[in-house]
Structure 1
Amino acid sequence: MAKGQLTDFNGILLYTKPYRERDLLIKFLTREFGKKMFLVRGAKRPRFKMRAAILPFTFGLYGGDIKEDGLSYVNDGKQVNHFNEIADDITKNAYATYVMSLIDLAFHDGEPIPAWYDRLLIGLRLINEGFDAQIITNIFEVQLLQAFGVAPNWVDCAVCHRRDLPFDYSEAYGGLLCQNHWHLDPYRLHLDARTIYYLRLFSVVDLAKLTHIAVSDKTKKALRQVLDQIYQRSVGVVPKSKRFIDQLGKFKL
């Protein structure tokens, strides 16, 4: 058996799945240890004492036995909270699930990523508080590209590095092309200036400092289309939760 470490940890519940007759497997993004899979024995029993601590969209301070390899164990939910608005709203639920799925796919289990723990916690709070769930999701999509090994240049022209001319996005050049070099890529995406503006903004925005953001339906549709294209062609990742959002029609404004 892998050696364990009894300790407290800060965790955001990513998902649960059944395991054997009475148990659950729960994946947490922990601030201290990265993503970890936990076995919760007896979790499906009617009077299981930790039931409230392992509901979807739960976060807080837990106690457990952390294993370097294999399954860890949750022993206690010490200071636990729930994103109730997300849990109760099918659209917020879908976007939040999609963001957590992307983070789960972008990083290896056991890789400490405390900055992403903090970022996810802030993003979920914003969605829970009523910020536009699609825009918060788009910010995560843009900022996670580097973790997926795709790092578009959102700063300047990939050819001449000018910043004072209109831009378009080029998959071939891995980022922006200024107007003087649009001819180099006949398959550039032909994005309008507002869409480019928000893509550049989303790449650097600090969610902790976000107080208000309002994007037109037209621009939201364009953002959805370009990010779908980048993820499909360059990243190659389409979680099931994304397909559910598409079915809801919330990405097709």
Structure 2
Amino acid sequence: MKTIDSWGLVLYNRPFREEDKLVKIMTEKAGKRMFFVKHASRSKVKSVIQPLILAEFMLKIADEGLSYIDDYREVKVFQNINEDIFKLAYATYLVSLADAAISDQVYDPSLFSFLVKTLELMEEGLDYEVLTLIFEVQILDRFGVQLNFHECCFCHRVGLPFDFSHKFSGLLCPQHYHEDERRSHLDPNVPYLLDRFQSIQFEDIKTISLKPDMKIKLRHFIDQIYEDYVGLHLKSKKFIDDMDKWAHVMDKGKAGSLENSD
């Protein structure tokens, strides 16, 4: 067993035996691992083993089996996310997606940094739907999916009103639409934005603002990509898919409260 200091993001915890807990943490230096916390309710680390807690941990890392948390130093809490059911739902999905994207103990500091930075931007108030779309597009390669949203897969021309072909797993320019009679018939802005999303830098994310109808088009297409190429079905994603119903109920409740206050 080796001792390291590393930033880590708590993915989830679950009960183990009567008083203990297993805590899944994505660490910056040792990958994603399961940690054992004995007598969790009385442990000195009980306040930092909740989901979406980011902390600098002192860890004992085992080559096989469970690892252990010795202590912690600095702690960062995503307060705004935790106070908003919609932000929390999307953040939970991002965490679940990152968890599914790599195997345990795989060293992937770039994914760790990308996940943490995305959550930080969400905490700052950036559009959580757009952040989620960008995150989904950029980690496709972690699932072995590499799609080119930049050029026609036949003539390699760029900057045209492209459509996507599942048959050829790439874009078609107008000159080659006929190659796939079952092409996606996308709004040309969808592949244009996906091309931007694949390489966008964090400093540029703050400049992106999308209308609701465009976010819906992007969401439907990315869902189709994940269904066809990844085949991943997360409970946290299903919750997001059902959130339109939740939003409708909550909006009606707010409206009723305002009427009663009058």
TM over 0.5: yes
Equivalent residue runs for 1:88-237 within 5 Å = 88-237=83-232
Q: Distance in 2 between matches of 1:251 and 1:23?
A: 34
Contact 1:7 1:64 in 2 (8 A): yes
- CA distance in structure 1 between the aligned counterparts of 2:247 and 2:147, rounded to whole angstroms: 24
SS at match of 2:242: helix
Q: Bigger CA drift: 48-57 or 179-188?
A: 48-57
State the partner residue of 1:50.
Answer: 45
Which of the numbers 35, 39, 44 marks the counterpart of 2:36? 39
User: How far apart, in 2, do the equivalents of 1:50 and 1:212 lie?
Assistant: 39
Amino acid of the residue matched to residue 239 of structure 1? L
8 Å CA contact 2:134–2:197 kept in 1: the answer is yes
Give the match for residue 78 of structure 1: 73
Distance 2:64 2:159 in 1: 51
* Partner secondary structure for residue 151 of structure 2: coil
Kept in 2, the 8 Å contact 1:9–1:61? The answer is: yes
**For the residues of structure 2 that align with 1:252 and 1:158, how far apart are their CA atoms?**
40
Q: TM-score, normalised by structure 1?
A: 0.93
Contact 2:12 2:50 in 1 (8 A): no
- Percentage identity across aligned positions? 41
Contact 2:37/2:43 (<8 A) preserved:
no
Q: Structure 1 residue 251: deviation in Å?
A: 11
Q: Which has the higher helix share?
A: 2
Name which of 9, 13, 19 aligns with 2:10: 13
Q: Could you state the TM-score of these two structures normalised by the residue count of structure 2?
A: 0.90
- Are the counterparts in 1 of residues 44 and 71 from structure 2 also a CA contact under 8 Å? no
- Larger RCO, structures 1/2 (Cα 8 Å, 6+ apart): 1
Deviations 1:146-202 (A, max 9, x none): 111111111211111111422011111112111111111111111112222211111
User: What SS does the aligned partner of 2:176 have?
Assistant: helix
Aligned length: 248
Q: 2:235 aligned to 240, 244, 247, which one?
A: 240
Indicate conservation of the 8 Å contact 1:245/1:251, yes or no. no
CA 1:242–1:251: 2 relative to 1, 3 Å: farther
* Change beyond 3 A, Cα 1:34–1:209: farther
C-alpha offsets along residues 34-82 of structure 1, whole Å, 9 cap, x if unaligned? 1111111111x2x432222112211121011111221111111211111
* Amino acid aligned to 1:50: V
For structure 2, list consecutive stretches of 5 or more residues without a partner in the other structure.
Answer: 249-262
Query: What is the distance in 2 between the residues matched to 1:126 and 1:39?
Result: 31
Residue 59 of structure 1 pairs with residue 54 of structure 2: yes
Q: Which amino acid aligns with 2:63?
A: E
> SS state of the match for residue 113, structure 2?
helix
Give the ranges of 4+ consecutive aligned residues of structure 1 lying more than 6 Å apart after TM superposition.
Answer: 250-253
Query: What 5-or-longer segments of structure 1 have no aligned partner?
Result: none
**2:259 corresponding residue in structure 1:** none
